[in-house]
Amino acid sequence: MKPIHATTVLGIMHNGQVALGADGQATMGNTVAKSNVKKVRKIGNNDIMVGFAGSTSDAFTLVERFEEKLNMYRSNLRRAAIELAKDWRTDRYLRRLEALLIVMDKEEGLIISGTGDVLAPEEGILAIGSGGDYARSAAMALKRHAPNLSAEEIVREGLHIAADICIYTNHNLEVMTL
C-alpha cells in the first residue's frame, strides 16, 4: 500500500475523554479540490467514531464494510477491526483500496490498514495522513505538558499545528467527542 500523502486525522484518549478530528482539505494532485470534506463521523449508535485518510470513495467503502463487521460482531470494536483488516488484505477488490482508518469508542482506539495491521498506538494518540506525524507529536507534547487540556482541545491544537506545516492539511477542522 502506498503511503497516504494527504490530510490529517488525529484521535486521542485523555483523562476519560475521547476525541477524533480531521482537517477538511481534499486535493487532486497538487491542487486543492475542496476545503470542507467531512473525514470523521459517528457510526453504530453514535458510540463509535471513524476517521479516514486517502481516497474518499475507497474510505467510504471501507467504513461501510467496518459497519457491517460491527453489526456482525455486536459492536466489538477490536474484533470488527481485525476482521475488516483480514478481508482488506485478502479480498481482491478490497486489496486495491487506498485509505487508512482510525476507529474509536470509549474504551480504545485503533488504526486499520490494508496491509492487515490493526494498531493500538501508545499513549492513546492515533494519527494518520500526511500531517499525522506533526499532529501526533503536538498531541504527545500537549498531553504530557498540559494535562489539564481536554481531549478535544488537544486534537484541535494538534490539527492546527499540522495545518501550519503540512501543505495537504488545512485549518477547516471537524472534531467529534464521545
Q: Find out whether 130 and 124 touch, Cβ atoms under 8 Å.
A: no
Asked if 20 and 49 count as a contact pair (C-beta separation under 8 A), the reply is yes
For residue 49, give the 3-state DSSP assignment. Answer: strand
**Residues constituting the chain:** 178
CA atoms within 13 A on the CB side of 126: 31
* Burial of 107 (C-beta count, 10 Å sphere; 0-12/13-18/19+): exposed
Which is the catalytic residue, given 7, 8, 27, 169?
7
Q: Distance (Å, rounded) from C-alpha 152 to C-alpha 39?
A: 16
Q: Are strands 125-129 and 118-119 parallel, antiparallel or unpaired?
A: unpaired
- Strands (DSSP E) along 23-124, which ranges? 26-28, 31-34, 40-43, 48-54, 99-104, 109-112, 118-119
Name the residue type at position 92: R
The residue behind cell 477524533 is 20
7 is catalytic: yes
Which sequence positions are flagged as catalytic?
7
